[in-house]
Structure 1
Amino acid sequence: MRLSPSGTWTFFWIVLIFNAMGCIQSIRCKPRSFRESIIVLEVNSSIDSNPTSIDESSNVVLRYRTPHFRASARVLVPPVAGKETWTVGWIQACNHMEFYNKYGNKGMSSWELPDLRDMKIKAISDSDGVNYPWYGNTTETCTVVGPTKKDTKFTVSMNDNFYPSVTWGVPVSDSNQPQLSSIRRDQSFTTWLVAINQATAETLVLQTIRWRMQLHIQIDPEKPLGQRARLMEPVAQEQPQILGKNEPIPPNAMVKPNANDAQVLMWRPKTGDPIVVIPPKY
């Protein structure tokens, strides 16, 4: 059968449309991977607006409590066809730490992360020390076990703050005479919303947040207990950044040790060699 020129074009378009429909059908029928199907519906992150509070109730230590960093995410996982188990949650690492407590002209104590300080690593895990690599395993994570027939929606959330104790007296001295004169702290963190396949260890970074906590407390050890310390800055912390482009997770953020177990308390006198006051746990 011979077709007229107009008939040829009509036949061409019919074939093209059917081919396109076939492509669409093949795309729709192909099962989507977990990577393609998981949806982050909403992410929120903030640092509380209240200033750092100072507690002078003890005649042995000064305590302070910083405002909380908070992060939460609503996540949707469509039906999982296969027998796969995925955990979605928060992983956090410390990228930078300065934590100095000055004691007049005697010297200073400092909590340090040696490998981070010496730039041997870019970040260190801030896991709870039990559920590596997760920050925690209560509100911080959710596990989806396939196969599932319906959408799975959930919220994962976490919070973090500092609540340390700093001795009024020089930490390497037997005397508890108040000599603490200044506290400075500056720490930076990266927090990731992550999905991990429990069988294959495939790791998907869904969201990246960067945040920082700073403080400067001035202390007059000559004043009576309860009147010595004053918060200088900042009254309000910088708010976290939810990044538009995700950052990869450094290897040390996924494994032992965590920051709490790796940190060491040093005494750095004005003259003389540094002394290890509290060695690392790990």
Structure 2
Amino acid sequence: MSLRLRAFDARHPAARAGAAPALQHIELSIAAGERLAVIGPSGAGKTTLMQAMALALPPSAGTLELDGREPWRASRRELQRLRGTLFLAPQLPPLPPRQRVVTAVLAARLPAMSLAASLRSLVYPSDIPAAHDALDRFDLADKLFERVDRLSGGERQRVALARALLAPARLWLIDEPLSALDPVRSLQALQVLLAVARERGVTVVATLHQVELARAHFPRLVGLRDGRVAFDLPAGAVNATHLASLYGDENRSEAGIAADADRSPQAASNFWR
């Protein structure tokens, strides 16, 4: 699925009257099957951008196109259908605490199911082997019948990512997928997601705070600051100057560490300490 934003502004629903849009004049074109990471400081508008791409926020100015069509000009029924072709993994996965993991994972298939089938699946999970296989990719197969509220924060985040493998989606929007994961799990999760996306031709847009992982695993990086695109470059072209400008002088942020990593392999290993 291709995605294009032109002169795109978006305003958060909770924003006070007269406040500047959270996203301003965004120009972005993403080809079908592309893998792109959005980086930037906290409060830059990354989560708002993901919500806008997921058709949860309408534009306050400009346009958004999916495969050349403008969803916000479509009927309500067509808009709902288009939302079913997207998968959004929020930073804090909204998993019902008393639900079993198998049910939570299989819920990713609901957009492609009839109402009767979806209700039935809540009581009698329809494809337990598929849920097991998806969880196994994240080393969570032993949690298949656990309740969600008995999982750690990192396990819940991996359950949310496992849902992507079962979703009938052509665009994955992954918001801070590694925030609760240790370095080993972070690398594993990225490798699984990107490998499956390549196999299926799924378009992936992910927001990340881990600059070095973004540069190592995504061919293209978009820097976002103050709701605007600061740069849009191949990962190999993003250097210490770009990062310093993006993050400013915040105390030894990702920018400073990534700049050190350009010069020193030892500093790169310190990124995770």
Same fold (TM over 0.5): no
The structure with the greater share of residues assigned to helix is: 2
Question: TM-score w.r.t. structure 1 length?
Answer: 0.22
The structure with the greater share of residues assigned to strand is: 1
